[in-house]
């Protein structure tokens, strides 16, 4: 931009240099397609190690070559890959969780289609900071032990801890849906906050305990300041509690400003408690009591979950019920006088076994059950029994979370664990037995063995020989099969392990030509000898493209699933890793063959070739894998599928084609800035400068033939390449030429005897 010169002095301006550095793209990002034990279907997933593959796709599987190919890729030097899982058809596993009122409230669906989702276990409990309204949920995949836990969550969509909001786009195991209509949500009850049991509020409240705040239905909290003694008037504790409740209601409503949740808010006495109720119902209905900024009274009034109150949201009734079940033991019914004199000195103990641990002797002492009614006495015995059992093994969940409760005229004992393995048993104590008197022996009923709550219904059908084309060459618009790689920004090498279907190979190579990538083709497994491979190479089974290369024969690799026993595997993954290693060590212009192109992890080759057999395949463009003394298994060929001598292709060799692809992709990405620039000599000069700098860097790295840049490459962009007619049509033409290095495929050494010379 031109400077505005207004006063005498020195002005500074920055002038662009025109240098736009072109960065070379990666040359060895591999893409793999095939069957896997689990993982997303028809979705490209990027991985950087075999551990990533194991986490995303389940690792090796005896009936799939994909895992072995990916493993060999990383073993041989690969560092970056995309993987697409392919199946014929698959459906995800599901489970619908129900509330305590038997209403379907949460549908859990496995993220990955197929049978792997059937191993995902769901666990729900209500042991939260607000146990009357929130819950904890956990998803555990049994196949690899991966677990996700979401604690203190709510089914209220406006809550910050709304479960579906927390899991969406985050969970790697499941996706969740709430199968409830808006009408059902609107019909949910009002939220409540119930205080603990209170004494006389006249003794609880004073000048330093007068304030608290109330948040209703997620609205901003409103302050409540109790005026003493006016707000607790009355001659009895009951009257004073009633007066206080009315004052709280009036103070909250006074701040409603047209908001129904506050305008219809109620506060009422219920026995010796205060019940605060939101003015409207629905999924967002809630009442939260918060401490006052000063002179906090919430604690002394036992209001709020932190102070011992019970806060129940409207959405609490649509949270999932605890699952799976705990093992329980329900006593026979107690009579009205059964606990009048128990426990006593001769009835103090019982033995209990939880989850196979024990039996442990439990002592309740000899104090008679406290309480003025049979129900109160039963509750006292339950509380004493629960405390005694929990104290036995506080570090063991079955004991630590053990519960004993009165249910009508029965005593219900429950193990602290849930699901499979949760058990409970009670036996008589060797002395001073109390179990029989508590009706926990004869007449007691044990629950059926609990089972884990797992997702169900996941199915998948693997592709067979007749399904290969449809599975791998799917619908491009829906990005299925090979076209799932549309989501991959860049890949250079394509591997379809063990796929030799001619139609699939033809379409895959065509896609590679479109994406400026190179395909590594496996020889057919039926080519068990060189003669058969010659027939394959001279036929129509393989695409005659310079964007692909075929390797023969297959190889044996160690199989971790069978204690290292050799397994026959296709070579594409190993060769792709070799490409990556050579690219990193020597450059993409170096042929991935020779004595330094050793194949890591290869135990042996399926066929041991002689020089003559190699000589029958090499002129046809078949790259042979050989075994040599000292060097072991190596790649001994570097021709494309247009590398047959009779085709006389200029892209006969793999490194020449891959170098050209590297240049094309790098220049395509590095010259995007040219679009819409003024099409004249200044632009052409910048283009020559930037592309020339890029090519010169490659020349100095040894990528081209020639002893000088003039011999090695050419960059031309001027009036000769871009005519006035081109300019009028908005076209700029850039000519980039390079002198590729060809591999020394045949080394000829001539040896001659020197005849004796007679000196004159």
Residues 196 and 169 grouped into a single domain = no
d(C-alpha 62, C-alpha 550), whole Å: 24
Is 685 among the domain residues?
Answer: yes
Domain containing residue 579: CATH number: 3.40.50.11780
Mean pLDDT of 372-383: 93
d(C-alpha 5, C-alpha 11), whole Å: 8
d(C-alpha 136, C-alpha 149), whole Å: 7
pLDDT of residue 1: 61
| Cβ contact 471:481 at 8 Å | yes
Going by pLDDT thresholds of 50, 70 and 90, the confidence category of residue 752 is: confident
| Cβ contact 734:691 at 8 Å | yes
Residues 348 and 290 grouped into a single domain = no
Residues 284 and 240 grouped into a single domain = yes
Residues 474 and 610 grouped into a single domain = yes
Residues 525 and 628 grouped into a single domain = yes
Phi-psi region of 295 (alpha: psi -120 to 50; beta: other; left: phi over 0): left
pLDDT of residue 758: 62
d(C-alpha 278, C-alpha 314), whole Å: 9
Residue 759 predicted with pLDDT over 80 = no
Mean pLDDT of 185-212: 95
Residues 495 and 602 grouped into a single domain = yes
| Cβ contact 668:734 at 8 Å | no
How far CA 18 is from CA of 242, 683, 696, 697, in Å, comes to 83, 9, 17, 18
Residues 481 and 609 grouped into a single domain = yes
Domain containing residue 173: CATH number: 2.60.40
3-state DSSP of 8-68: CCCCCCCCCCCCCCCCCCCCCCEEEEECCCCCCECCEEEECCHHHHHHHHCCCCCCCCHHH
Domain boundary pick from 312, 334, 367: 312
In tens, the pLDDT along 484-519 reads 999 999 999 999 999 999 999 999 999 999 999 999
Residue 755 predicted with pLDDT over 90 = no
Residues 205 and 344 grouped into a single domain = no
Is 6 among the domain residues?
Answer: no
Which of these ranges, 111-115, 234-238, 380-384, 748-752, has the smallest mean pLDDT? 748-752
Burial class (CB within 10 angstroms; exposed 0-12, middle 13-18, buried 19+) of 60: buried
Domain boundary pick from 412, 446, 480: 446
Share of the chain above pLDDT 90, in %: 91
Is 114 among the domain residues?
Answer: yes
Residue 244 predicted with pLDDT over 90 = yes
Domain count, the chain: 5
**Residue with tokens 């219904």, as numbered in its chain:** 457
pLDDT of residue 756: 67
What is the DSSP annotation of 486-522? GG-S---EEE-TT---HHHHHHHHHHHHHHT-EEEEE
Mean pLDDT over each residue of the chain, to the nearest integer: 94
| Cβ contact 268:245 at 8 Å | yes
In tens, the pLDDT along 644-679 reads 999 999 999 999 999 999 999 999 999 999 999 999
Domain boundary pick from 446, 476, 510: 446
Residue 218 predicted with pLDDT over 80 = yes
Bridge partners for 128 per DSSP: none
Strands across the sheet containing 104-110 = 94-98, 104-110, 174-177
Mean pLDDT of 58-84: 96
Is 701 among the domain residues?
Answer: yes
Residues 94 and 83 grouped into a single domain = no
Mean pLDDT of 122-146: 92
Is 17 among the domain residues?
Answer: no
Residues 633 and 492 grouped into a single domain = yes
d(C-alpha 258, C-alpha 280), whole Å: 13
d(C-alpha 90, C-alpha 698), whole Å: 48
Q: Is the dihedral of CA 508, 509, 510, 512 positive or negative?
A: positive
Is 533 among the domain residues?
Answer: yes
Is 1 among the domain residues?
Answer: no
Please state the pTM of the whole predicted model. 0.84
Mean pLDDT of 12-38: 91
Mean pLDDT of 610-621: 95
pLDDT of residue 22: 93
Which of these ranges, 308-312, 541-545, 552-556, 752-756, has the smallest mean pLDDT? 752-756
Q: Would you give the end-to-end CA distance of the chain in angstroms? A: 86
Rounded (10°) CA dihedral 390, 393, 399, 400: 60
pLDDT of residue 680: 95
Full residue range of the structural domain in which residue 280 is found: 192-312
d(C-alpha 696, C-alpha 709), whole Å: 7
pLDDT of residue 451: 87
Residues 727 and 618 grouped into a single domain = no
Residue 745 predicted with pLDDT over 90 = no
Query: Which DSSP helix (H) or strand (E) runs through 349?
Result: strand 349-354
Residues 72 and 120 grouped into a single domain = no
Is 147 among the domain residues?
Answer: yes
d(C-alpha 287, C-alpha 277), whole Å: 7
pLDDT of residue 757: 64
């Amino acid at each position: 931009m031109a400077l505005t010169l207004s006063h005498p002095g020195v002005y500074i301006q920055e002038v662009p240099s025109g240098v736009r550095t072109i960065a070379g793209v990666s040359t060895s990002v591999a893409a793999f397609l095939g069957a896997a034990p689990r993982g997303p279907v028809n979705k490209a997933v990027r991985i950087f190690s075999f551990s990533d593959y194991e986490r995303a796709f389940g690792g090796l599987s005896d009936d799939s070559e994909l895992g072995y190919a990916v493993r060999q890729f990383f073993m041989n030097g690969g560092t970056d890959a995309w993987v697409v899982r392919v199946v014929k058809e698959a459906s995800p596993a599901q489970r619908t969780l129900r509330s305590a009122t038997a209403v379907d409230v949460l549908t859990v669906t496995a993220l990955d289609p197929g049978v792997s989702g059937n191993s995902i276990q769901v666990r729900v409990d209500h042991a939260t900071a607000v146990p009357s309204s929130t819950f904890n949920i956990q998803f555990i995949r049994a196949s690899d032990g991966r677990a996700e836990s979401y604690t203190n969550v709510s089914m209220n969509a406006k809550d910050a801890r709304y479960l579906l909001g927390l899991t969406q786009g985050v969970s790697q195991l499941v996706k969740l849906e709430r199968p409830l209509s808006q009408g059902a949500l609107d019909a949910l009850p009002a939220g409540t906050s119930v205080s603990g049991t209170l004494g006389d509020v006249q003794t609880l409240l004073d000048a330093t305990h007068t304030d608290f705040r109330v948040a209703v239905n997620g609205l901003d909290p409103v302050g409540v300041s109790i005026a003493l003694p006016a707000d607790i008037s009355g001659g009895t504790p009951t009257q004073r509690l009633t007066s206080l409740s009315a004052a709280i209601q009036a103070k909250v409503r006074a701040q409603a400003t047209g908001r129904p949740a506050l305008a219809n808010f109620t506060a009422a006495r219920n026995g010796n408690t205060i019940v605060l109720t939101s003015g409207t119902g629905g999924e967002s209905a809630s009442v939260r009591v918060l401490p006052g900024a000063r002179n906090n009274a919430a604690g002394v009034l036992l209001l709020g979950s932190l102070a011992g109150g019970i806060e129940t949201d409207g959405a609490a009734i649509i949270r999932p019920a605890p699952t799976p079940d705990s093992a329980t033991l329900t006593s026979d019914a107690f009579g009205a006088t059964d606990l009048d004199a128990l426990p006593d000195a001769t009835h103090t103990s019982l033995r209990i076994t939880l989850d196979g641990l024990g039996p442990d002797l439990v002592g309740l002492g000899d104090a008679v059950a406290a309480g003025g009614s049979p129900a109160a006495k039963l509750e006292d015995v339950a509380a004493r029994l629960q405390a005694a059992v929990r104290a036995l093994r506080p570090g063991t969940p079955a004991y630590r979370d053990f519960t004993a409760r009165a249910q009508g005229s029965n005593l219900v004992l429950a193990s602290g664990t849930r699901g499979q393995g949760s058990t409970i048993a009670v036996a008589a104590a060797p002395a001073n037995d109390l179990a029989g008197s508590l009706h926990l022996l004869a007449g007691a009923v044990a629950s059926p063995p609990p089972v884990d709550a797992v997702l169900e219904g996941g199915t998948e059908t693997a592709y067979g020989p007749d399904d290969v084309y449809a599975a791998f060459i799917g619908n491009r618009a829906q990005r299925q099969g090979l076209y799932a790689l549309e989501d991959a920004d860049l890949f250079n090498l394509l591997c379809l392990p063990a796929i030799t279907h001619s139609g699939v190979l033809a379409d895959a190579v065509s896609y590679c030509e479109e994406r400026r990538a190179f395909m590594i083709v496996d020889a057919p497994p039926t080519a068990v000898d060189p003669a058969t491979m010659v027939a394959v190479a001279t036929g129509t089974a393989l695409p005659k493209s310079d964007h692909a290369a075929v390797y023969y024969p297959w190889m044996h690799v160690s199989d971790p699933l069978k204690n290292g026993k050799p397994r026959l595997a296709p070579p594409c993954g190993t060769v792709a890793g070799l490409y990556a290693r050579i690219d990193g060590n020597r450059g993409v212009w170096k042929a991935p063959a020779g004595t330094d192109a050793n194949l890591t992890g290869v135990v042996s080759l399926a066929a041991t070739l002689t020089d003559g057999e190699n000589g029958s395949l090499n002129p046809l463009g078949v790259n042979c894998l050989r075994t040599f003394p000292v060097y072991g298994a190596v790649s001994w060929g570097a021709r494309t599928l247009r590398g047959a001598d009779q085709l006389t292709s200029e892209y006969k060799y793999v490194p020449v084609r891959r170098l050209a692809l590297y240049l094309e992709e790098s220049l395509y990405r590095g010259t995007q800035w040219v679009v819409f620039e003024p099409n004249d000599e200044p632009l052409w000069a910048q283009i020559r400068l930037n592309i020339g700098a890029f090519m010169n860097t490659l020349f100095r790295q040894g990528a081209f033939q020639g002893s000088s840049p003039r011999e090695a490459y050419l960059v031309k962009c001027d009036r000769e390449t871009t005519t006035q007619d081109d300019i009028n049509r908005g076209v700029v033409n850039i000519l980039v030429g390079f002198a590729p290095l060809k591999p020394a495929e045949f080394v000829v050494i001539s040896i001659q005897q020197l005849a004796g010379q007679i000196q004159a």
